[in-house]
Structure 1
Amino acid sequence: MTAETTALPGEIAKFDALAAQWWDPQGPMAPLHRMNPLRCGWIASRLAAAEGRMGQSLQGLRVLDVGCGAGLASEGLARLGARVTGLDAAGTALEAARAHAAAGGLEIDYRQGTPEDLAAAGERFDAVVALEVIEHVTDRAAFLAALAAVVKPGGMVFLSTLNRTARSFLFAKLGAEYLLRLLPRGTHDWKMFVTPAELGAEARRAGLRVTDIAGMSARAGGREWRESRDVAVNYIVAARRD
């Protein structure tokens, strides 16, 4: 039996339609390609430290990538040694993910489903990541509860998302989708963006304690992304399950 889900059918269809272009670094997912080294490096550093390791080694750690799409973060984390399970409700995107991983010689366990499904099955992971996902779900509280349920006690959950500010509306919605056309129109609904305060409070109610937060800021016309203190648009969070 499939567990009750927080996935939105319209959002699944939207990202499934982009499957064939997902791995084109100049295509509609170009911003994620440019952001991905920062996201994966930030996660790896904090996860390795939490596990008492040096550098960014994730060797042997079991990591779940929720909303993996065609596998940008899954592959980045796998190349750092993690045993990655990529999870998405979009079947066509997963086909692209499997093909790309196979071509690159990477062993990634891609599955179609939701974290609620894995929680119902009793699966547990050393860490869970959900990158640019939470602003696309029906119920943030239920989604966070599902992430907490599939990470082991003491394990880490990582989320990246968009803040709901005037600047994010200007740059991430109007600028990226309508003026610069970096993303397809309709990719985001600004009303579903989440502030760090909201995310922190909802995470605590789910049994997750935020341990770190950083802004992700574009440089060089969006061609480079760096960690910053500015969380007004894009930001990334680390939380530990109590």
Structure 2
Amino acid sequence: MPVSQTTVDPAEVAKFEAMAADWWDPSGKFKPLHMLNPCRLDYICTQIATEYDRDLKAQRPFEGLRLLDIGCGGGLLSEPMARLGAEVVGADAAARNIPVAQIHAEQMGLDIDYRNTTAEALAEAGERFDVVLNMEVVEHVADPLAYLTACHDLLKPGGLQVCSTINRNPKSYAMAIFGAEVVMRWLPRGTHEWNKFITPDELFALLEQAGLRPVDRKGFVFNPISWAWRLSDRDLSVNYVTASLRPE
């Protein structure tokens, strides 16, 4: 399927293509995502289970749900979703990410449909999903509203979108750019652009303009003492996540 350029920023895609081989190295360039992943999965699983009345103690609680992981990268979220029983499509505009994700899934014995495509192209093709995971992508696109509108169109009525991104304030600059890229060197310099960050209120407004109904938001908070992430109801000052529904 050809890659639509509606909201894709070629410069942003190039950044992640350059890092494609490092996706599954927990000490490599995607170390921050590996560290954040348990916290992300906790939130995602809770939201899906709540929306679709699933028992997370079951062996495959998401059986029968079709899930799209937009900006899937190497498959850090696609793989656990597949293990939990979902039918997973992983999509990424960076072509070099796809074979990395495919090979790793095959090695893990997982059947995941990985595609080099975009939200817009999938929506135009009539694809529909029960769940759309839109994690750490919206701050990298050229037109956030058009992108979120495509994500809305990809959801079945009543479907759930989980969207995470980074707040825009002095603290987020200090933590997500200066701290992560310059001091800790967790990410290459230039991975993020502070002016593309989106505040929680701005994101809620964009979600509503896109036709979605926001129902929840929480912060991802890093504790430098325990060296771990946790969810917070109050602290959305840097990384945060939202849940929204496509109305019936």
TM-score (norm. length: structure 1):
0.96
- Residues 98 and 115, structure 2, Cα contact 8 Å, conserved in 1: yes
**1:236 counterpart (232, 235, 241):** 241
Q: Offset at 1:5?
A: 2.0
Aligned to 1:35: 36
Q: Offset at 1:3?
A: 4.4
**Secondary structure, counterpart of 2:102 in structure 1:** helix
Aligned to 2:13: 12
Q: Offset at 1:58?
A: 1.5
Describe the superposition over 1:16-49 as per-residue Cα deviations: whole angstroms up to 9, x where unpaired: 1111111100001001011111112211111111
Specify the code of the residue in structure 2 equivalent to 1:95.
Answer: P
Residue 191 to residue 44, structure 1, CA distance change in 2 (3 Å): same
Number of equivalences: 242
Q: Offset at 1:219?
A: 2.0
Give yes or no for the alignment of 1:92 onto 2:96.
yes
**Secondary structure, counterpart of 1:39 in structure 2:** helix
- Residues 3 and 93, structure 2, Cα contact 8 Å, conserved in 1: no
Give yes or no for the alignment of 1:160 onto 2:161.
no
CA distance in 1, matches of 2:201, 2:160: 19
Q: Offset at 1:221?
A: 5.2
Q: In angstroms, what is the RMSD of aligned CA positions?
A: 1.3
**Secondary structure, counterpart of 2:90 in structure 1:** strand
Q: Offset at 1:81?
A: 1.5
CA distance in 2, matches of 1:206, 1:186: 29
Aligned to 1:218: 222
TM-score (norm. length: structure 2):
0.94
The answer for unaligned runs of 5 or more in structure 2 is: none
**Secondary structure, counterpart of 2:98 in structure 1:** helix
- Residues 31 and 222, structure 1, Cα contact 8 Å, conserved in 2: no
Identity %: 49
- Residues 3 and 116, structure 2, Cα contact 8 Å, conserved in 1: no
Residue 6 to residue 37, structure 1, CA distance change in 2 (3 Å): same
**2:119 counterpart (115, 118, 128):** 115
- Residues 37 and 76, structure 1, Cα contact 8 Å, conserved in 2: no
**Secondary structure, counterpart of 2:77 in structure 1:** helix
- Residues 23 and 74, structure 2, Cα contact 8 Å, conserved in 1: yes
Aligned to 1:106: 110
